[in-house]
Chain A
Amino acid sequence: MFLARGRLCTLGNRPKFLKTICASKILGLSTSACKAVVWSRQAKHSLGWGWGQDIVAVRNEATVLLPEIWAASVAVFSQDLSAQDPVPSSGMEWVELVHSCVCERDLIMLVTVVPRHCRSQPPCTLHRPHYPDVWSNTSLDCFCEDIFQKMSLKFKNAKRIEGLDSNVWIEFTKLAADPSVVNLGQGLPDISPPVYVKEELSKIAAIDSLNQYTRGFGHPSLVKALSCLYEKFYQNQINPNKEILVTVGAYGSLFNAIQGLIDEGDEVIVIVPFYDCYEPMVRMAGAIPIFIPLRSKPLDGKKWSSSDWTLDPQELASKFNSKTKAIILNTPHNPLGKVYTKDELQVIADLCIKYDTLCISDEVYEWLVYTGNKHFKIATFPGMWERTVTIGSAGKTFSVTGWKLGWSIGPKHLMKHLQTVQQNTVYTCATPLQEALAQALWIDIKRMDDPECYFNSLPKELEVKRNRMVHLLESVGLKPIVPDGGYFIIADVSSLDTDLSDMKNSNEPYDYKFVKWMTKNKKLSAIPVSAFCNAETKLQFEKFVRFCFIKKDSTLDAAEEIIKAWSRQKF
């Protein structure tokens, strides 16, 4: 028996086994019949059998028998038996041989070479006693079942990642990869980072010691710079070694915090819409996410703003109970752009204290706050420092998302658990990047009140872009929600009443279909806001689509062109 891998094994491409068969033909044994079975791992049974004079014929027959399966690319495996010398002599060894040919696909076609005179049952043991008696259909079935039974046990994933394999970004990044599409989808800046940031990295790479391991919990000069920066906001000294942890992006901080502090069976409150990784990370820790949506106040004729979206205090209180281990807060908020007010944060803080709950505060957009708004750190509220982990991001601070450096700040009795996770996951972050970040931070720390300071100049630059986006979206009949912070803006697309009937897959939420339609027909990409919702709340947000505006003027110009043409088409 042999299995064909990659492509079908034709007669010109025989593994040694076939040669053996042919040799035995010369010796007078007739061997030229092949039998194939197509087996589905998912269905857990065979889908059909075929006979043929040779492999090619078997394939042809299988094609006839199972055309739709063939079209879905049946995987045919072959083992180069040159390494399997001598040919297995017992049924068990055959099973082991097959075991070792791991199949990577759902369908597998097993081909057995059967001596012609043994085509009919019962199995023939006359000349080749070591053929397993598996060429009856039923025994082939059993054989496959046995293999896949054993295989499925060991090569299965750990339960902790069950159901966490799909990811919205993978799908939408692919869509937007077409270079003719203006990509306002994924939140990565296409503006340049500040020149001095890039220069620092270049200089640093040439310094020898900075290419080797540094302190695991954060490069000394970086944690010092972060401590110095944030002391101003916490109005207290922050111990750089015990109260700061440098991680692989803010993403890594979220992971460390959740793995370090959240246990199986814990409940974690997640506010909808939410940055998409919160839910899978909570589930991966074996905990239960408890969702609560932001709800819009009715508009009184004024412009729709992210501040119109709030949490109902009673509804929020009802989500807390003795099992609530933590609440994940994101301010400024992705995707809405909401900047939580002091009062709103106080409501959350009060509940955290009342229910003895931790707060994981994702503040990656802390510098991107627009006129009339102020960013507040919940960790500075009474009773909150000791139960809050606050997360920041170099990528968002300096428009260098590719550096993947983030940090967590919190009391040492919490941070030590994040450190434990760190030392058992990545151990340290890249040294040159940390040093470059430290140098860049020092440059801006020294000029915090200066309009040239990047923490001041970037939000000013982005506010202009925000206003431009609002205007553009309104001009084509979309209803944007003006964000108070962050670099995203969401818009209600339902008023356009676009005809999406040619978009297949009617099970998808409206915004998914709209974005795919818009990408395809208008060459403009965005992200559906229901991607930031859990299954139950998707319907509440399916009219909304998220646009990213941290883009250079030429990108926004291109978007403007598209939108203007779009609005002309309508009228």
Chain B
Amino acid sequence: MALGGMFRNAAAICLHLVGPFGGKKSGASLARCLHQTLVMTKQLQARRLDGIDHNPWVEFVKLASEADVVNLGQGFPDFPPPDFAVEAFQHAGYPPLTKILASFFGKLLGQDIDPLKNVLVTVGAYGALFTAFQALVDEGDEVIIIEPFFDCYEPMTLMAGGRPVFVSLKPSRNQDGELDSSSNWQLDPTELASKFTSRTKALILNTPNNPLGKVFSRAELELVASLCQQHDVVCITDEVYQWLVYDGWQHVSIANLPGMWERTLTIGSAGKTFSATGWKVGWVLGPDSLLKHLRTVHQNSVFHCPTQGQAAVAQSFEREQLHFGQPSSYFVQLPRAMQRCRDHMIQSLQSVGLRPVIPQGSYFLITDISEFKSKIPNLPGAADEPYDRRFVKWMIKNKGLMAIPVSIFYSVPHQKLFDHYIRFCFTKDESTLQAMDKRLQKWKDELRP
């Protein structure tokens, strides 16, 4: 195995300055000039990373940080977590989080939940998703993903060697003039059924949905449930926004439906529950027969999650258990407050010709930018770049407002069909919404001839 030929620059220098291998010189100057690119003849990165190295957030978050923008893009609250949660983090003791989750969700799901067997605490709901995919999805397995989808579902499926199979929520016709609602966006039952094959291992469900804000109804979940049971498929349900439900809509957990507990993994997030996304504490609830495989992945990837965050979340849930259902409950106050933010934003966005789709839940709403697509179709951007991405970049640059193009939540073949929507996050402080109003006003003034 000759030394030359492996490297290009570095090896030549190495040979000259260090002598035959075994040389002992290692001065600082040598180190400096050897910061070269490694040229390995074998493939450097693992093949499992093929196609998943690009991440849309990196691009958009960078853009937002470069310009002076009101950031309504990435989904995080810009108001603080409730006081009791902050205090819990500061003085965290250590009531086991699994115990309180088992107790809290046991009541909610009407299920006997064992803290050791039916609960796994993870690094955010993101970590829960990763653990579930790695544990259950094998090479060649198919995973049904409902579009629009939180962007990580696809790369996580691919990283596990699985094949994503997409099925789209589609808006049904609605009254002209009236604003569309996320409840109008539905799955075609026949189309959904056709996506199940003998290779389907799992279906990933997200309710309330990001980016649409759709809250799946019981009937819709029953359809999904019956197909999962018929085809013996595992249902991974991402319910991070379960408390953020508006207008009297009800969040339904598919694990509650008959025959579903045994085949469902229910994922939750402390970050979204307590407006503390930086804590990165999430969890999975499910039957031991499935969770045992997630535990294996967990113990071979991170093993433990930070204690501080877990203790704080446990204490916060304990507090909530005492106040559950009452006006003092954070789970009552938060959605109420967020609904006001939502309504404020819906009102304001319309003033410039954006047409928001009223979300039933979650942190987000999408708005139809078709009017702009027809009025200013030729915005700068790459040749094949979907319109909504070009629009967002234009909006950041010219209007000082940031949102996220909805096409990133669609599979590549479908991006062109859904390139006339952008997503706004409305769980923001009053001051942020006012800043948004100011910019929208300016925009509106510019529209007048």
Hey, which bits of chain A sit against chain B, CB under 8 A? 6, 83-84, 96, 99-104, 150-151, 153-155, 157-161, 164-165, 167, 170, 201-202, 205-206, 208-214, 216, 234-236, 248-249, 251-252, 255, 259-264, 277, 280-281, 284-285, 322, 325, 342, 346, 350, 353-356, 380-383, 385-387, 402-405, 411, 413-414, 416-417, 420-421, 423-433
Question: Contact at A426–B126, with CB atoms within 8 Å?
Answer: yes
Cβ of B174 under 8 Å from chain A: no
Cβ of B31 under 8 Å from chain A: yes
Closest to A103 in B: B289
Check A350/B31 contact, CB under 8 A, given A96-B230, A104-B289, A403-B306: no
Question: Contact at B138–A211, with CB atoms within 8 Å?
Answer: no
A379 to B304 CA separation, bound complex (whole angstroms): 28
Question: Contact at B155–A208, with CB atoms within 8 Å?
Answer: no
Question: Contact at A404–B304, with CB atoms within 8 Å?
Answer: yes
A481 to B3 CA separation, bound complex (whole angstroms): 39
* 8 Å CB contact of B89 from A165, A205, A212, A424: A205
| Nearest CB of chain A from residue B276's CB, rounded to whole Å | 4
Chain B residues with CB below 8 A from A355, complex form? 1
Closest to A248 in B: B302
Question: Contact at A158–B34, with CB atoms within 8 Å?
Answer: no
| Nearest CB of chain B from residue A367's CB, rounded to whole Å | 21
Chain B residues with CB below 8 A from A322, complex form? 1
Question: Contact at A100–B262, with CB atoms within 8 Å?
Answer: yes
Question: Contact at B136–A424, with CB atoms within 8 Å?
Answer: no
Cβ of B240 under 8 Å from chain A: no
| Nearest CB of chain A from residue B114's CB, rounded to whole Å | 10
Cβ of B38 under 8 Å from chain A: yes
A214 to B308 CA separation, bound complex (whole angstroms): 17
Question: Contact at A252–B278, with CB atoms within 8 Å?
Answer: no
Chain B residues with CB below 8 A from A402, complex form? 304, 306-308
> What are 29 inter-chain pairs, A to B, with CB distance below 8 A?
A84-B258, A96-B229, A99-B232, A102-B262, A104-B288, A151-B232, A153-B232, A155-B289, A158-B137, A161-B293, A212-B76, A212-B277, A235-B31, A249-B304, A260-B46, A322-B1, A346-B22, A355-B1, A382-B23, A402-B304, A404-B306, A411-B35, A417-B46, A420-B45, A425-B126, A425-B301, A426-B123, A426-B124, A433-B306
> What sequence of 0s and 1s flags, for each residue 283-303 of chain B, a beta carbon within 8 Å of any chain A beta carbon?
000011110110111011111
The stretch from B127-135, B246-254, B322-330, B431-439 touching chain A is B127-135
Cβ of B108 under 8 Å from chain A: no
| Nearest CB of chain B from residue A248's CB, rounded to whole Å | 4
A216 to B262 CA separation, bound complex (whole angstroms): 34
A280 to B299 CA separation, bound complex (whole angstroms): 10
A432 to B35 CA separation, bound complex (whole angstroms): 33
Closest to A151 in B: B232
Chain A residues with CB below 8 A from B201, complex form? 154
Inter-chain residue pair count (beta carbon < 8 A): 270
Besides A350-B22, A382-B18, A423-B58, 14 new A-B residue pairs in contact (Cβ under 8 A), listed by A number: A100-B262, A157-B293, A157-B296, A158-B134, A202-B90, A208-B80, A211-B275, A211-B277, A263-B47, A382-B23, A424-B159, A430-B281, A430-B308, A432-B89
Check A403/B308 contact, CB under 8 A, given A83-B258, A154-B232, A154-B233: yes
Closest to B280 in A: A430
The stretch from B49-57, B345-353, B380-388 touching chain A is B49-57
Closest to A251 in B: B303
Chain B residues with CB below 8 A from A346, complex form? 22, 24
A14 to B104 CA separation, bound complex (whole angstroms): 28
Check A386/B136 contact, CB under 8 A, given A325-B42, A417-B44: no
Question: Contact at A353–B3, with CB atoms within 8 Å?
Answer: yes
Cβ of B77 under 8 Å from chain A: yes
Cβ of B309 under 8 Å from chain A: yes
Chain A residues with CB below 8 A from B287, complex form? 102, 104
A355 to B1 CA separation, bound complex (whole angstroms): 7
Chain B residues with CB below 8 A from A431, complex form? 278-280
* 8 Å CB contact of B31 from A151, A165, A236, A404: A236
| Nearest CB of chain B from residue A477's CB, rounded to whole Å | 35
Cβ of B36 under 8 Å from chain A: yes
Cβ of B173 under 8 Å from chain A: no
Question: Contact at A385–B289, with CB atoms within 8 Å?
Answer: no
Closest to B259 in A: A100
Question: Contact at B48–A259, with CB atoms within 8 Å?
Answer: yes
Question: Contact at B23–A354, with CB atoms within 8 Å?
Answer: no
Question: Contact at B277–A236, with CB atoms within 8 Å?
Answer: no
Question: Contact at A417–B305, with CB atoms within 8 Å?
Answer: no
Check A260/B302 contact, CB under 8 A, given A155-B234, A158-B136: no
Chain A residues with CB below 8 A from B35, complex form? 236, 385-386, 411
Check A424/B52 contact, CB under 8 A, given A350-B21, A433-B308: yes
Chain B residues with CB below 8 A from A252, complex form? 301-302
B1-25 residues with Cβ-Cβ distance < 8 A to A are 1, 3, 6, 10-11, 14, 17-18, 21-25
Closest to A82 in B: B258
* 8 Å CB contact of B229 from A100, A277, A381, A416: A100
Question: Contact at B300–A429, with CB atoms within 8 Å?
Answer: no
| Nearest CB of chain B from residue A464's CB, rounded to whole Å | 28
Chain B residues with CB below 8 A from A157, complex form? 135-136, 293, 296
Check A354/B3 contact, CB under 8 A, given A248-B302, A249-B302: yes
Question: Contact at A382–B26, with CB atoms within 8 Å?
Answer: yes
Residue of B10, B44, B77, B229 with most chain A CB atoms under a 10 A cut-off: B44
Chain A residues with CB below 8 A from B276, complex form? 211-212
* 8 Å CB contact of B277 from A213, A251, A350, A421: A213
Chain A residues with CB below 8 A from B423, complex form? none
A210 to B308 CA separation, bound complex (whole angstroms): 14
Chain A residues with CB below 8 A from B307, complex form? 402-404
| Nearest CB of chain B from residue A233's CB, rounded to whole Å | 11
Chain B residues with CB below 8 A from A261, complex form? 44-46
Closest to B123 in A: A426
Check A161/B297 contact, CB under 8 A, given A104-B287, A205-B90, A382-B17: yes
Question: Contact at A236–B46, with CB atoms within 8 Å?
Answer: no
Cβ of B74 under 8 Å from chain A: yes
A174 to B261 CA separation, bound complex (whole angstroms): 29
A252 to B233 CA separation, bound complex (whole angstroms): 30
Cβ of B119 under 8 Å from chain A: no
Question: Contact at B308–A382, with CB atoms within 8 Å?
Answer: no
Chain A residues with CB below 8 A from B275, complex form? 211
Chain B residues with CB below 8 A from A259, complex form? 46, 48
Check A429/B123 contact, CB under 8 A, given A201-B308, A402-B307, A404-B304: yes
Chain B residues with CB below 8 A from A381, complex form? 26
* 8 Å CB contact of B28 from A6, A235, A404, A417: A235
Cβ of B79 under 8 Å from chain A: yes
* 8 Å CB contact of B34 from A153, A255, A385: A385
Check A386/B38 contact, CB under 8 A, given A201-B308, A426-B280: yes
